[in-house]
Structure 1
Amino acid sequence: MERFELLPMVSTMEPADLLLYYPDGDQENYWRSVRESPLYENERSEIRAEGNRLRGLPIPELTYSLFSIYTRKGSRLEYERVYFERRRILNTSVFLTLLEPEREEHLAALEDILWSICNEYTWCLPAHLGETNITETIDLFSAETGFALSEISCLLGERLPALLQYRIKENVNKRLFVPYLTCGPFHWETATHNWAAVCSGSIGAAALLMLKDSETLTDILLKVQGSMEYYLQGFGADGACLEGLGYWNYGFGYFVYYADLLRKRSLGEIDWFKREQVRSIAMFQQKCFLGGELVANFSDSQAVGSVQLGLSHYIAAAFPEVEAPPLSLRAAYSEDHCSRWAPAFRNLIWKNSTRAPVEWGSASNYLPDAQWLLSRHVSEAGAFGFAAKGGSNDEPHNHNDLGQFILLGEGTVYLSDLGSGEYKAGYFGAERYSHDCNGSQGHSVPIIDGQYQTAGPESYAVVLEAATSPEEDVLVLDLAQAYAYEGLQSLTRSFVWRTGVRPSLTLSDEFHFDEAPAALIERMVSFCPPVVEKGLVILKGPQAHGHGLSIVYDDHLLQPGISVHSFHDHFGVEKTWYAVDFQVRQPSKEARYVFEFQFMNNSK
């Protein structure tokens, strides 16, 4: 859309008000229903529990010593824990103010935290800042904060003192609108991942809520439109988010929050939801879950997933093909360690309390642009899941993981993806692939003569076959380009996933070399302790259930060995993982190695 088309539309927009959020704009009636209805009992309890935890505690300060830790030590967690706790205080104070309007202490707490956030030196995180032009920088969290304050001001209106309303407007203008229009372009404006959607979407949403000047609002919406186009370029027609489910929730969530406000403010004239690509992206979530709360956590993602219920219900209402998730997967109020306002608020106002909860059943999906095969199989024996990927080693939040696979059953992940490590200085820099969670050494892929997979666009998989059916899923990949090993002619990795009461997986790797390599290892990665037997490796599940996974191999060709490793996960917690290395006894120019994975149940 061109400026001359957009400006007349913006000029006739009605002012932002409570009609954007509630039926008939009746905020009081909506929050009465939240306060009284048993359908919101869990949400009420969680919010009040946070209120009880925070009651009487001072607002934690963002001191210089905390701010400078990242520069001095490269560690992010110390500052960010305090920063996000302040956002938790903000969110909880707003919700309690709306839930219990008669209690003046909630409003007083809200006024204090709003004032304190307006006093912050920067709304950005230190990890996203340089040493200069700090006040001109916009990152994910400064944009989110501006959106949050704009929305809270709209919701609370005259209940907030005039000075606080003024300070919010002043700060959002100074920290977001002015730098966005005068200090760019910012790197995220043309990003094809979550940064484009979160930063531009938050700024656009804040502008829709706060700005009355049609010229300025038009200029901002035009810039946001460009960034959203770039964001959508990061998806193929299959709708896959290469950054994983967590970043789908994040990036696509903020895309939807903005698109919803824009559609309402423009009375439906500007509607991103009419895009077929948006429909495909909306369907990604239901494909990612492999069994219960366990997900395909390729890239910087977590193995255990949850859903933003408000977002999920919104897109299920918008697109009939989207399956609303079971309520058991609902993210609790306190689950988001970043304490983001926008999803927390919409988990309430977009919740469809009349929708009957339905469990997700069996489903297999192949996503051709991402080259992901995802299968969830539910039988009388339980829920089982399998996922494998091709792609390239030049993806957002990239891991060197071509040919990586995940295998789970009855609540246990046996062949794992380590997922996201702790974000520290260097994690996104030159040392990235020295971290086990990012380099191929921490994935279930071959190691050729001591060499791991390489990073970059020249390292990619070629799909030779991909098929799904109710009985069997197949994925065959050529992985030769993943390695810089000069003598490797071809490497074909084949997966055959057979469903049934207790599914099974067959993995085969076929190598062709110019000359036999000095060493060749087939590595399998697991958080489960392995036990080696002749011709068999057993990955033990929870002892109380007697479950496990057996890996059957040719003992004449392969010698298994176990090594123990550790890494720090996204939250800084040290995690132990096991490498099961099947050492080829006598490497040759041409060879094929086959592994059979079978689920065990010794509880009877």
Structure 2
Amino acid sequence: MKFGFKPEAFFKVLVFALFFMGASVSAFAYTERNYLQKAADFDTVKKSLVMGQRWLKLPQYTDREGWEKILGDSKLEFVKEGEKNLSYQWKLIKATDYLEFSRSGNRGILEGPVAANRKALFTLMVAELAEGRGRFIDQIINGVFLFCEMTTWSPPAHLYIQKVRSPFPDHSEDIIDISGAETAAVLAWAYYFFHAEFDKHNKLISKRLYGELERRILNNYIKDVGWWWLAENYKPGMLVNNWNPWCNSNVLLCYMLLDGDKDRFAKAVYKSMRSVDKYLNYVNEDGACDEGPGYWGVAPAQLMEYLVLLNSATGGKVDIFGNRQVRNMGEYIAYAYIGNGWSVNFADAHANSLGGTPMKVFEYGALTGSRVMMSFSKLMARDFPRLKNRKSGFLDFLRSLNYSKKFDSYSEEFNFPKYKWYPQTEFCHMNCGNFFLAAKGGFNNESHNHNDVGSFILYYKKNPLIIDVGVGTYTRQTFSPQRYSIWTMQSDYHNLPKINGVSQKDGAKYKAKNTRFDETTLTFSTDISGAYPKEANVVAWERSYSLGAERVIIKDEYLLKEASEGTTINFMLPKKPDISRDGIAVLKSDGGDVKMKYDKSQFSASVETVKISDIAISRVWGKELYRLSFSRKNKSLDGADTFEIVAKN
């Protein structure tokens, strides 16, 4: 192992970091609302359970007339996709693929092949349901057998859940993580539809498959396992994120497809309700997804899938789609969209993408009565055509069957709001004239956190002008104590000041204060002084953004204990600015150029070229980014600085 790296020691530190990284969650971030448990107690749930898969309104595999009626003209499309995988070479997962995570931190070497195998299996299964001639059964059996032979369905990056805290799988312990739960759900569908067909070839195939699902999921989930994502023993400051609805929804689906034991089924359903309540308690009532819009598809959207399944499992008894918070969480994805293919990408997100699919957004909107989501889904389909027909699992497949006609006939246009203010999460989005600005307060220990308290992004004519770089390729380092050695996580590469030579700090106590928004003047302001460690010697630093039709005012009002080192104000840009003229920096975008005016008596401007080697970032921004820095010429203890951005005449 290079550099003396010890994976077991690393994982002990990683587990500590993951369990306590949420320690800064402020008091408002977790409130005992318990919507699901208030909707039904355990006895009510048990009495309401729909057994024998009667909740599923799909024909059996052998009902050819039923499938012909459901699929209609789309049948051939599904068959053609399956035919591409008739000669698919299943990707073997080697021991060295797990070891590579310890050696180099590479996650893709294993996670990529597993995802490809899972997708191939799903595609083959849908094709066989569509055609029904048995052409795809052998390949489906191969895929099922491959997954059954794996020691674990979890990647090394998630194996810290094991008691041995090693990135190498322990055959004596079964765990459930987001990847394993997704795999289990696909395999549960395989058993439900095809176990009788498998038996025609050899009865040991379906016996093995059910046995693996029962051991790894059905009997395992209801144990007192204490996995962090369940949040069963939640204490203030702990983290509850996308893993919760993502795992719980897939696990619940397995019980719904497989379990005939009503006592076990009831325990699992109610345990999932208590767990998902923890997630809903953790998320702010304003509904903002602090993990970023890229995670919306596996956080709020996964919550939606869980709630749909829960409603079906209980015969409609548990239904909280009328809840305002649930609706807010869905609508976040619409309000995070800037237009022209760009989104508000705070946290681990890419600026040119959105989570979820148009059909998933539409279903969420239909279930909650949100015209915002339903109208936005149509815009999303136009601006992200590759997402329109994307299906990553059977629930997406069912969604396309149930909602495609309603989606196609929906005609209401989405209207971008003048502003959207999230008072608890402290996100603010503003639209005025040709400018769009999004800013944040918050704290430096949010889920998928970057040290970016008080940062902002600015778009001109729906084109990036001042940006959030986003996140690079996930490696071992990304979710480890070394996270903030990655440059994209640091405040120096966000649109923030470096005060007395000191950057923002990660952790619970580093947060904004007095964050507020004035809707009449479109002004967002927050005191970011608390996001810096004591070495910065800052008493107060109020950063404000005021948006007008043709101008943006960025203002810093500050008070320092001492001015021992220089202070620099940084801005991240996608295109190289022109700073040839003192007092004016010309910022460039595909929508046109704008002027940034600054006090040349107080600041000197410089530009640094940031070379991009990470493909996840270069796919968004290209091979170079630029950091525009304004260095203060004096060392004053207090003052007010203004940067004015105006459309160039």
Same fold (TM over 0.5): yes
1:115 paired to 2:166:
no
Other structure's SS at 1:185 match:
coil
Equivalent in 603, 609, 619 of residue 564 of structure 1: 609
Structure 2, unaligned stretches of length 5 or more? 1-36, 160-164, 232-238
How many Å separate the matches in 2 of 1:201 and 1:224? 8
1:360 paired to 2:414:
yes
Other structure's SS at 1:437 match:
helix
How many Å separate the matches in 2 of 1:346 and 1:529? 47
**8 Å Cα contact 2:471-2:617 kept in structure 1:** no
> Shift of the alpha carbon at 1:351?
3.0
Cα deviations by residue, 1:99-153 (Å, 9 ceiling, x for unpaired):
3334x43333323222222222210011111336453222111112112222343
Equivalent in 74, 82, 86 of residue 105 of structure 2: 74
1:249 paired to 2:297:
yes
> Shift of the alpha carbon at 1:165?
3.5
**8 Å Cα contact 2:64-2:132 kept in structure 1:** no
1:142 paired to 2:172:
no
> Shift of the alpha carbon at 1:536?
2.1
Q: Normalising to structure 2: TM-score of the pair?
A: 0.82
| Residue of structure 2 in register with 1:496 after alignment | 546
Equivalent in 409, 427, 442 of residue 372 of structure 1: 427
How many Å separate the matches in 2 of 1:127 and 1:385? 37
Q: 1:343 to 1:421 in 2, by over 3 A?
A: farther
| Residue of structure 2 in register with 1:548 after alignment | 593
Q: How many residues align?
A: 581
Equivalent in 368, 376, 392 of residue 319 of structure 1: 368
Cα deviations by residue, 1:362-384 (Å, 9 ceiling, x for unpaired):
2111000110101345x7x7xx5
How many Å separate the matches in 2 of 1:136 and 1:463? 46
Other structure's SS at 1:58 match:
coil
| Counterpart AA for 1:509 | D
Q: 1:346 to 1:541 in 2, by over 3 A?
A: farther
How many Å separate the matches in 2 of 1:517 and 1:322? 54
How many Å separate the matches in 2 of 1:243 and 1:187? 17
Equivalent in 50, 63, 71 of residue 94 of structure 2: 63
- Counterparts of 1:501-520 in structure 2, within 5 Å, are 503-520=550-567
Equivalent in 400, 414, 420 of residue 471 of structure 2: 420
| Counterpart AA for 2:125 | V
Equivalent in 208, 227, 237 of residue 167 of structure 1: 208
How many Å separate the matches in 1 of 2:119 and 2:246? 19
- Counterparts of 1:210-229 in structure 2, within 5 Å, are 210-229=258-277
> Shift of the alpha carbon at 1:301?
1.1
| Counterpart AA for 2:127 | L
How many Å separate the matches in 2 of 1:439 and 1:567? 16
- Coordinate RMSD, CA, aligned: 3.1
| Counterpart AA for 1:6 | F
How many Å separate the matches in 2 of 1:145 and 1:319? 29
How many Å separate the matches in 2 of 1:570 and 1:200? 32
By percentage of residues, which structure has more strand?
1
Q: 1:177 to 1:414 in 2, by over 3 A?
A: same
> Shift of the alpha carbon at 1:175?
1.2
How many Å separate the matches in 2 of 1:275 and 1:3? 11
> Shift of the alpha carbon at 1:154?
3.1
Q: 1:228 to 1:314 in 2, by over 3 A?
A: same
The percentage of counterpart residues that share the same residue type is 22
Equivalent in 570, 584, 590 of residue 536 of structure 1: 584
Q: Normalising to structure 1: TM-score of the pair?
A: 0.88
| Residue of structure 2 in register with 1:106 after alignment | 136
| Counterpart AA for 1:550 | K
Structure 1, unaligned stretches of length 5 or more? none
**8 Å Cα contact 2:301-2:330 kept in structure 1:** no
Other structure's SS at 1:196 match:
helix
Larger displacement relative to structure 2 (182-191 or 401-410): 182-191
| Residue of structure 2 in register with 1:84 after alignment | 115
| Counterpart AA for 2:130 | L
Equivalent in 225, 228, 247 of residue 187 of structure 1: 228
> Shift of the alpha carbon at 1:340?
4.1
| Residue of structure 2 in register with 1:588 after alignment | 636
How many Å separate the matches in 2 of 1:219 and 1:509? 55
Cα deviations by residue, 1:304-337 (Å, 9 ceiling, x for unpaired):
2234223212221122234212435236678999
| Residue of structure 1 in register with 2:493 after alignment | 442
**8 Å Cα contact 2:556-2:642 kept in structure 1:** yes
Larger displacement relative to structure 2 (73-82 or 2-11): 2-11
| Residue of structure 2 in register with 1:124 after alignment | 154
| Residue of structure 1 in register with 2:446 after alignment | 395
How many Å separate the matches in 1 of 2:266 and 2:212? 20
| Counterpart AA for 1:108 | D
**8 Å Cα contact 2:249-2:309 kept in structure 1:** no
How many Å separate the matches in 1 of 2:81 and 2:617? 23
Larger displacement relative to structure 2 (164-173 or 129-138): 129-138
Q: 1:475 to 1:490 in 2, by over 3 A?
A: same
How many Å separate the matches in 2 of 1:168 and 1:489? 62
Equivalent in 389, 403, 408 of residue 351 of structure 1: 403
> Shift of the alpha carbon at 1:404?
0.8
How many Å separate the matches in 1 of 2:345 and 2:389? 17
How many Å separate the matches in 2 of 1:518 and 1:505? 29
Cα deviations by residue, 1:444-497 (Å, 9 ceiling, x for unpaired):
00001221001112111123530235xx52101111111123531210111011
**8 Å Cα contact 2:500-2:565 kept in structure 1:** yes
> Shift of the alpha carbon at 1:206?
1.2
| Counterpart AA for 2:211 | E
How many Å separate the matches in 2 of 1:77 and 1:336? 25
How many Å separate the matches in 1 of 2:267 and 2:305? 19
> Shift of the alpha carbon at 1:86?
0.8
How many Å separate the matches in 2 of 1:280 and 1:2? 20
| Counterpart AA for 2:136 | H
Cα deviations by residue, 1:386-430 (Å, 9 ceiling, x for unpaired):
210000112111111011111113342121112122221222222
Cα deviations by residue, 1:24-75 (Å, 9 ceiling, x for unpaired):
99995566554416xx9xxx86x67755654533111112222221022111
> Shift of the alpha carbon at 1:594?
1.2
